[in-house]
Structure 1
Amino acid sequence: MKSPVLRAVLASTLLASSVLLGGQAYAKTLVYCSEANPETFNPAIGIADSTMDAAAKTIFNRLVEFKPGTTEVGPALAESWDVSPDGKTYTFHLRHGVKFQSNEHFTPTRDFDADDVLYTFNRQRDANNPYHKLGGGTYEYFNALGMGTLIDKIDKVDDYTVRFTLTAANVTFLAGLALDYLSILSLEQTEKMVAAGTPELIDSQPVGTGPFMLEAYVPDSQVRYTANKDYWRGAPKIDTLVFAITPEPTTRVERIKANECQVAAPPPPSAVADLRTDPDITVLDLKGQNIGILGFNVEHQPLGDVRVRTALAKAIDRKAIVEAVYAGAGTVAGSVVPPAQLGAVTDAGIDYDPDGAKKLLKEAGHENGLKISLWAMPVSRPYNPNAKRMAEMIQADWAKVGVQSEIVSFEWGEYLKRTAAGEQDTFLLGGSSDNGDPDNMLSYLLSCDGVKGGSNRSRWCDKDFEKLLNEGRVAADQKERAAIYGKAQAILKAEVPVAPIAHSMVAIPIRKSVLNYVLDPFGRQNFAAVDIAE
């Protein structure tokens, strides 16, 4: 938490930056109405989309990245790579002449090289790494997606060549390297900040190789960036990028209509039709690769009993929830796996059956009632645009079968932290796919590694399910992979660690003055190539 003094300094810096910008006759500013504060500016220790948009996509780059608007992996800080015939060794040839940014605390003395790659990965995978415990030492994504067990070793061949040796061939590895949490960090900045006794600046005032440099951050207000004129892909066309933090969806609608922001995070579904009639706004539609879920913490009794979990899922009228919460922009989920992904099934959801719920509760010894907590997200997310309303509807449905529930919520960062620690009984969450592969969502939400890493908030670990995940990562044949994920989804339906609620359509409103904006297939925001019409 930032002190009042630091907040005041940041506020004055932000004001000074605005005044300075006003004196530049041709400066271009783009304002994005975001939905939440970033948890941190270090993608390695963050998990929320708001963090990845504010840090990974703006300040940093990865070894490889998805080509804009696609799920195809292309070169980034690695300009090329070779794969061994057995699929276990990847050799990356790094780009020369890539410069790290500077700020008031740090000026780099060298370009990006192999040492930064080894630092980024080894800090997360090796508990004995001297920097492993910085920032709390929690690497939720890295652990949940199994990178620690997948990577056998990483070797520096020379200053611009890095070799990864895997424990087994893995068809998801290359796309996995494009995920935001593997943004390449500066080893030199870390060394200097640790030596100076200010390691917290690594996370709060980082330097990367990306298109924008962090200038100032005022929590609950805005994040301000300036263009990185030395960006290796070419300087951005906009001079200043501002994330105006606007948690309330209706306020985002008001701001974009008033041209107070030019791009906005998803509006409430009920506002989309009106936005489409505005002559100055274009609404871009994305069939979301996402899932909104109700999760059950199996370590909290009686939720360890599958009969109780199934009963609670059967008691929920998902159709009514989707109609009320998603307002025509969502569909009842047939599975945790989004329908556009390989192997997705449509029959792994739990149908509404309140009489069946009562019967199961009686069998489990809870005929006379049950009291549990129901945690609801404090923010609007594409996969759940109104968690408070959803929680209220679930609460009412459960009351009809004799289950009393208390709705609990916290600030977004605190909510994620506490649910990762397992404080909740039941919880609303979900996610948007990072790469379009079913392994991504299933592993992050439900793997055994995710229990240890904190992303599996149901804290459910099943050896048969885990075996299928491992098989899916190795199988190269797409039909074989689809069959594997079909079996995995059948286990989820039987065991009910989560109840899939809905998949949503995602609407992104942009002002027509915005040029070169490319809709990200995973709903993330990237302004590196965006321009504003003069």
Structure 2
Amino acid sequence: MSRTDHPRARWLTLLAVAGLVATFAPGSVVAQEKVVFKVGLTQTATETGLNPFLATATADYRLIADIYDLLLEFGPGLEPAPGIAERYEVSDDELQWTYHIRQGVKWQDGQPLTAEDVRFTFQYYIDSHDPAYTGPQAPDGNDTDGDGSADNALTLFDNYLDLDAGLEEMRIESIEAPDAATVVITTREPLISLQQIYLPILPKHMWEQITFEQANNENVESPIGSGPFRIVEFNPDSVIRFEANKDYWGGAPKIDELIYQYFQNDEALVNALKSGEIDFVTDVPPALLSVVENDPNITVHRAPTTDFNELGFNSWDPDPDRFVEEGCADCPKGPTTGSMGDPWLTKPEVRAALAGLVDKKELVEHALNGFGTPADSVVGPLNAFYHYQSAPDDPVNFPPYADASGRDAARQQAISRFGAKMAEFGFTDTDGNGILNVPATDEAKAFDPAGAGADWSLRLFVRDDDEEDKIAAELLEAWFEEAGVDIDRQLVKEDPQLYDATYPSSTNADMDMYLWGWGPDPDPDFILSVFACNQINNWQDVNYCDLGYDTVYRQTRTTVDRDARAILIKGLQDKVFHEAPYVVLWHPDSIEAYRSDRWEGFQLHPKEGGYLWSSWGFGQYNSRTTVGPLGSAATPAPSATPAPSGTPGAETPAPTAPPTAAPTVTPAPAGGGTDTTLIAVLIAVAVVVVGGVLLVARRRAAEDEE
């Protein structure tokens, strides 16, 4: 089976995976009156969002954080912190990782969780990539068409297990569970991603019955995890309901039910919070902030984020072999570059020239009402150690100006600079209508036979349900047309139109430009992996490919020295900035709000300037187990299990967990837990998040505006 069938390429009817309908263990004694916490959203989970191997949207990853645990989770500073593993050590040569599995943890059906579940989870994923695999997960073999590739490789978590360059290049030699409490991973080279593997730990006793084909195509109707909540109702277009796992190893949640309620528009969402119909909103639209910020019963929390929105340029310029490789041998092909997009966008100089027309300050002012910051790079300024900062006067940037009075002059400078650059390629306004004409030389006709001599026109795809992107698109259209580029602005559905338009295997990347967004991981590894050639038809959307980029990216995965790694990472950002497959537009602020007349105990994640309800915050590290009704009893968290110091082979005791507190408002109770002890563990690490993972993923999907 070709990679055409990668999960992001299709969205199937909700199916129940055979053997995955859970039989939950009986819950705790139900109180006379349930404590129900309702979270309001406008971004729906996907139809396959309960299957970790098909989860793609931010809303999906919230559900995963409710249901599952990770081997190592994201601590208060987003550092690797104890999860299913209480602690770990790394050998002196950095080639062997030993994880000590927490004892007494149970799956939500009552069965014990052991090291074998961890080993099985990782090996299951790796085996799906092996065309030679024979076993219960592929009863007819894993290469039934004999083309040498695996039929149903699970691909969303490739970079965390070093599979993004293929099974042959994977540097993991073995994954073993020598006893019920120990997992040992051995590698050929140092592999920093093993500090945090964003792959939910799965119950072997259920998933060993599931074939790779099922895992790659079907939803999990009633998943079993080890996390703080178990799902009891899944209607992604209306209500998703959870019951608390009172046996959760990190401390029983203080609420009995967690409900995600979906609204059709922002106004209905905010009004529901105002009226008390819901208790929490993950993303207050900036335009509606005034509705809630002066309400004495509502607390608003605003914080910067590393999320970003981008203008993407179709950079798909394949050689003929790539059509077969990417599963589109029968796709319609462009006349010269192969792409169905505008061929001139395959030239980095042209993309960079267009980037210089984009006034990011004005975009933040108008599209976000000022609730964000102009962006330089896919690695945001909150990740200061790895953040790349371009020079203000770099021609890829809009010319700098001090205030609104200097904006018009800067615009004319940008237009003049753009015209001069495009003239180098032969673009001039030959018919005097204000739009540049594609050159009509013999060379240009060979490169762009369909466009030669015509007005230069580019399509701009904009999500039809994203108000911020709509505003940004109007500004971009005006700026580009003033500079001589006709813009065909089209409103599209994110699913399936925008997904399909960016996929070579779906439409041969039949698009020119689009607006979209990401919520990157705490560590830069994942978002930088997106630009690797092997991510075309997978996580990539601009279909950019540069072998030099790939070489340096692979080096960042094995460079243990933090300073040396930062140099490599900034170099990759510099390349993306100047070759401009993306123009990174802004980093939006997070604006959350909750009914502080009814709830307390919210816990920021990360601790400094983070979210109240984070997709990174598994279990005890976010508000999931600590939020409760006003006046709910709380007990201080005990000292944590010793955790690694960040130095290979060393261990130091972790400090006592700090009190949880509601941000910037009234003090909250001191910790999680009801009658079950909250085991809150922090790690004393001196290194920055390495190998961090948060797929938050495929697409923020306008998490901040919908």
Q: TM-score, normalised by structure 1?
A: 0.84
Q: 1:388 to 1:247 in 2, by over 3 A?
A: farther
Q: Are 2:190 and 1:169 equivalent residues in the alignment?
A: yes
CA distance in structure 2 between the aligned counterparts of 1:247 and 1:357, rounded to whole angstroms: 41
1:291 paired residue number: 308
Match of 2:481 among 356, 381, 399: 399
2:66 corresponds in structure 1 to 58
Do the aligned partners of 1:36 and 1:220 also contact (CA within 8 Å) in 2? Answer: no
1:377-388 equivalences in 2 (<5 Å): 377-378=463-464, 386-388=468-470
Q: Take 1:480 and 1:4, find their aligned partners in 2: how far apart are those partners?
A: 46
Deviations 1:268-301 (A, max 9, x none): 1233344221111111122212222111121132
For 1:105, the equivalent position in structure 2 comes to: none
What's the offset of the Cα at 1:426? 1.8
User: Does 2:561 align with 1:477?
Assistant: yes
Please point out which of 65, 75, 82 is paired with 1:75: 82
Q: Does 1:229 align with 2:316?
A: no
2:338 aligned residue: none
Other-structure match for 2:575: 491
- Give the Å deviation of 1:261: 1.4
- How far apart, in 2, do the equivalents of 1:412 and 1:532 lie? 38
Q: Distance in 2 between matches of 1:362 and 1:460?
A: 25
Distance 1:461 1:235, change over 3 A: same
Aligned to 1:162, what secondary structure does the other structure show? strand
Using the TM superposition, give the Cα deviation of residue 139 of structure 1 relative to its aligned residue in structure 2, in angstroms: 2.3
For residues 456-475 of structure 1, the aligned pairs below 5 Å read 456-475=540-559
User: Offset at 1:77?
Assistant: 0.9
2: distance between equivalents of 1:194 and 1:140? 17
The CA distance in 2 between the partners of 1:451 and 1:531, in whole Å, is 44
Deviation at 1:448, TM superposition (A): 2.9
Q: 1:25 to 1:84 in 2, by over 3 A?
A: same
How far did residue 66 of structure 1 move?
A: 1.2
Pair 1:32-2:32 in alignment:
no
CA offset at residue 210 of structure 1? Answer: 0.8
- The answer to whether the Cα contact below 8 Å between 2:298 and 2:593 also exists between their aligned partners in 1 is yes
1:152 equivalent to 2:173? Answer yes
CA contact (8 A) 1:310 1:357 kept: no
Post-superposition CA distance 1:502-529 (Å, at most 9, x none): 1122111121122221232364255233
Equivalent residue, structure 2, for 1:101:
108
Q: Could you tell me which residue of structure 2 aligns to residue 409 of structure 1?
A: 492
Q: Hey, what does 1:43 align to over in structure 2? A: 52
Q: Which amino acid aligns with 2:36?
A: T
Once the two structures are superposed, residues 133-175 of structure 1 have per-residue CA deviations (whole angstroms, 9 ceiling, x without a partner) of 9997542342488445343332232333221123321334313
Q: Does 1:326 align with 2:357?
A: no
Q: Name the amino acid aligned to 2:605.
A: D
State how 1:335-354 maps to structure 2 within 5 Å. Answer: 335-341=377-383, 342-347=385-390, 350-352=396-398, 353-354=414-415
- Of the structure 1 ranges 219-228 and 163-172, higher mean CA displacement relative to structure 2 is found in 163-172
In structure 2, what is the Cα distance between the partners aligned to 1:38 and 1:297?
Answer: 27
Q: Does residue 515 of structure 1 match 2:600?
A: yes
Q: 2:353 aligns with which of 307, 311, 328?
A: 311
Do the aligned partners of 2:54 and 2:216 also contact (CA within 8 Å) in 1?
Answer: no
Question: How far has the Cα of 1:201 moved from its partner?
Answer: 6.8
- Counterpart-to-counterpart distance in 2, 1:281 and 1:115: 46
Deviates more, 1:340-349 or 1:45-54: 340-349
Residues 310 and 584, structure 2, Cα contact 8 Å, conserved in 1:
yes
Shift of 1:202: 5.6
Q: Is the 8 A contact 2:460 2:487 kept in 1?
A: no
Give how far 1:31 is off.
0.4
**Between the two proteins, what is the percent identity of the paired residues?**
26
Over alpha carbons, which structure has the higher Rg? 2
Deviation at 1:408, TM superposition (A): 4.0
* Pair 1:364 & 2:364 matched: no
Amino acid paired to 1:49: T
Matched residues in 2 for 1:318 and 1:357: separation?
A: 17
Give how far 1:101 is off. 2.0
AA of the residue aligned to 2:463? M
Q: 341-350 or 228-237, which moves further after superposition?
A: 341-350
Letter in 2 for 1:142: D
The aligned residue for residue 686 of structure 2 is: none
Code of the residue aligned with 1:313 in structure 2: it is A
**Number of positions where the alignment pairs a residue of Structure 1 with one of Structure 2:** 498
CA 511–131 in structure 1, closer or farther in 2 if over 3 Å, else same: farther
Paired with 2:496 and 2:228, the residues of 1 have a C-alpha distance of 26
Cα distance in 2 for partners of 1:256, 1:361 equals: 51
| Correspondence 1:419 to 2:502 | yes
Structure 1: distance between partners of 2:372 and 2:281? 19
Query: How many angstroms apart in 1 are the aligned matches of 2:151 and 2:236?
Result: 18
User: What's the offset of the Cα at 1:482?
Assistant: 2.7
Higher strand residue share: 1
**Amino acid of the structure 2 residue aligned with 1:122:** Q
Contact in 1 for aligned 2:285/2:591 (Cα 8 Å): no
Whole-Å separation in 1 of the counterparts to 2:497 and 2:116: 33
CA contact (8 A) 1:420 1:455 kept: no
Which whole-Å CA distance do the structure 2 matches of 1:403 and 1:361 have between them?
A: 14
C-alpha spacing 1:376/1:262, structure 2 compared with 1 (3 Å): same
Q: Tell me if the contact between 2:118 and 2:201 (Cα under 8 Å) persists in the aligned partners.
A: yes
Q: Which amino acid aligns with 1:326?
A: L
Is the CA contact 1:36–1:412 (under 8 Å) kept in the aligned structure 2?
no
- Shift in alpha-carbon separation, 1:464–1:363, aligned structure 2, 3 A: same
Pick from 261, 265, 271 the counterpart of residue 244 of structure 1: 261
The answer to whether the Cα contact below 8 Å between 2:312 and 2:513 also exists between their aligned partners in 1 is yes
Distance (whole Å) between structure 2 residues aligned to residue 255 and residue 397 of structure 1: 38
| 1:99 Cα deviation after fit | 1.8
**CA separation of 1:308/1:403 partners in 2, compared to 1, >3 Å: closer, same or farther?**
farther
1:322 to partner: Cα distance: 1.5
Of Structure 1 and Structure 2, the greater helix share is in 1
CA distance in 2 between counterparts of 1:506 and 1:230 reads 32
Gap change, CA 1:491 and 1:194, over 3 Å in 2: closer
